[in-house]
Structure 1
Amino acid sequence: MSFEVKGISDNHFHHLNQFFKNGFDGNELLEQSQQIQHPLVDGYSSEWYFDGIRMGYSDWHYKKPVALAWNYDIDVELVTFQANLKGSVLMGKDSANAVPLFNNLQHNLFYAGTGDVNEGVLKGDRLASSMFFIQFTKNAFLRLAADGNDTLNRFNEHVQNGRSAVLTPHNLYVNANMLSLIKSIVHCKYKNNLKKMFLLSKAIELLVLQAEAGSEALNPSYKYIRSSYDRERIMYAREYIMSHLDVPPSLTELSRIVGINEYKLKRGFKEMFSNTVFGYLADARLELAKNDLLENRQSIAEIAFALGYSSLQHFSYAFKKKFGMSPSKLRR
């Protein structure tokens, strides 16, 4: 056994199990997209393998609240970047005793040696769960991540010496730039070697964002955020607005939801993210809109209204102000 989810055929994980056994160092890009059948869940996954790298995206929709049991063991040393987009991943034998590994909109980078064995459950948020991940063999990771910042270099030292490690002791939160990169990977329309080049470039870009986020988390210098509780609440405020881009709360509502007063919310958010709450919200919307426009999957009006803009004119004005061109010009 390498990887299995209870109730789902092992055939769905054939390439993954090969990767866990030998690392898949082939030069050619191997792709796999499939629908996953389960009595209580409809699932979809896409995976890409090349040069000791595995990228994957999965999206699960639950017919009723349920926890899917999973377990794995690996025979190769792997570094994993994981971004949990919806739902929760828990570690432990069952739902009652499992502890959270990743919650909604969290990410981290971790290294595990050979013989690593784990088990846990996958739970949906609003009857859905979704995740994106990149796994590197040890050699592939060290080749790509050499000479990063201090935070990444310390992590690399653990990898080189075969010591299990995580980039930061607490998970970080997925931001708009990461979401945009992930969407561009999942919906990439390039083929063959060009697609392989594109995926590799995005993997490196995500490592850069991860290293920078890790450095900021480990070396904070705050004036208004006085405690770990304040920091946790500000992080939750960002998670909440990222999950409600189409219908964001007012500042008063957000303050009540996260449990700190408006003054601390405004000052602390600006201190932590170098932007106001609604400035961050606006940037996140526009980054996602830009990616959707480049994907050419919806009309400009559909994109604007899906992200909560009250009018097409308002969206076009904001977009041009941020990117220097109108949405229609970008799409040409």
Structure 2
Amino acid sequence: MPFELKNNIDSKVLFSGHYTTADYENKTANDTSMDGVFNIPLPSGNLKAQQWFVNGVRLMYSEYELNSYTEFEWKGDLELITMYFNLKGKFSLASPGAAKIIELGNNEHNLFYGKEAEGIIKVEELKMKSFMIQFTRDSFFNIARDGNDALKRFADNIVNGKLVALSETNLNIDIAIQSCLRAILECRYTESLKRIFYYSKAIELLVLQAGAFDNSKINHTRYLKSDYDKERILFARDYILDKLETPPTLMELARIAGINEFKLKKGFKEVFGTTVFGYLNEIKMELAKNDLLEKRKNATEIAFELGFSSVQHFSNAFKKKFGVSPNQAWKVA
């Protein structure tokens, strides 16, 4: 049976993919026959996705643009382990036999396994962005057997046929995971090297996810007590990304986000694993690196556009982050 996505109102088939376990397992470094971008017209909008297959792993980035909230039926017969990173929006998935409905909010991730490959997907916001990585059973076991206790327990549940999530509560997508996802989407290697790169990043994301789970079990003080508090932190993140050249002070950002400065500082680190300005600097450095490697801009242009006080200030920050100067990065690109 192929994977099918149907409109939940009239059961019209919106997408059908005839994938088999062999399709996952047989994708070699030079085989790109099933990779690519595709668009799925929906009754209430559009779904655009890009996918890659390699060594028992499927990676897929999706963007939904809808004009009304939507429900889909989905079915498939493959036994897969899925890492899901919800970058924007909110959705839920109800499956037969599942103890509870799977829900993922804005900036949340988790790892899932279930043998019942069918259910109802409910998209609860008009714009959504997500990244999904699926492992075949064998490919996951090959990796997880050398993992931490959490991954080994997860693998044991798969052996016993149990529907399971890595974490009972969803985990926050921190700056390390964001950087890894961005590296996949902005990959500049040739086709043969891309496959190796994607596979390495899939493993890295599994490591980061398992590490995030371990970290969540440490008795940290929780400063964000409600969904509203978390929404304000995500709003603050989006705001500073729009103001990279002239970011606000913490006091200004707290006022704009509608949250007190103490909760902004503590809550931001709780969600993203770093401070507001640590996050801002990480994003600036990644943007600068990509511009230099693609030769889109030189060091002077980047320093000005990203709001550094001088080219020297930018050069020092870049070298501290990457171990080479901007000019050296430009030359080796």
TM-score w.r.t. length of structure 1: 0.77
Give the Cα separation in 1 of the matches to 2:43 and 2:56.
Answer: 34
Query: How many positions carry a matched residue from both structures?
Result: 314
Secondary structure at the aligned position of 1:243 is classed as helix
State the partner residue of 1:84.
86
Residue-by-residue CA offset, 1:188-213 (whole Å, 9 max, x unaligned): 34345432211111111111111111
Structure 1 portions without partners, runs of 5+? 94-98
Secondary structure at the aligned position of 1:129 is classed as strand
Cα distance 1:136–1:221, how it changes in 2: closer, same or farther (>3 A)? same
Matched ranges for 1:1-332 at <5 A: 2-6=3-7, 13-14=16-17, 17-19=18-20, 24-28=24-28, 29=31, 30-38=34-42, 40-62=44-66, 65-91=67-93, 101-113=103-115, 115-124=116-125, 128-222=127-221, 225=222, 229=225, 236=231, 239-244=234-239, 245-247=241-243, 250-255=249-254, 261-267=260-266, 275-291=274-290, 293-294=292-293, 296=294, 298-299=296-297, 309=307, 313=311, 315-332=314-331
Q: Is the 8 A contact 1:80 1:110 kept in 2?
A: yes
Cα RMSD for the two superposed structures = 3.7
Q: Is the 8 A contact 2:90 2:105 kept in 1?
A: yes
Give the Cα separation in 2 of the matches to 1:272 and 1:183.
Answer: 18
Alignment-mate amino acid for residue 155 of structure 1: F
Residue-by-residue CA offset, 1:203-256 (whole Å, 9 max, x unaligned): 11111111111111122344xx4x6718x7775565334433223554235545
Alignment-mate amino acid for residue 56 of structure 1: M
Give the Cα separation in 2 of the matches to 1:112 and 1:196.
Answer: 27
Give the Cα separation in 1 of the matches to 2:176 and 2:112.
Answer: 21
Alignment-mate amino acid for residue 109 of structure 2: H
Structure 2 portions without partners, runs of 5+? 96-100
Alignment-mate amino acid for residue 235 of structure 2: Y
Give the Cα separation in 2 of the matches to 1:273 and 1:11.
Answer: 36
What fraction of aligned residue pairs are identical, expressed as a percent?
36
Shift of residue 180, structure 1, vs aligned partner: 2.3
Cα distance 1:142–1:292, how it changes in 2: closer, same or farther (>3 A)? farther
Shift of residue 82, structure 1, vs aligned partner: 0.9
State the partner residue of 1:96.
none
Cα distance 1:189–1:275, how it changes in 2: closer, same or farther (>3 A)? closer
Runs of 4+ in 1 over 6 A off after TM superposition: 271-274, 301-306
Shift of residue 70, structure 1, vs aligned partner: 2.0
Cα distance 1:287–1:161, how it changes in 2: closer, same or farther (>3 A)? farther
Secondary structure at the aligned position of 1:119 is classed as strand
Residue-by-residue CA offset, 1:57-91 (whole Å, 9 max, x unaligned): 122334xx322332222322211011112222233
Give the Cα separation in 2 of the matches to 1:184 and 1:273.
Answer: 17
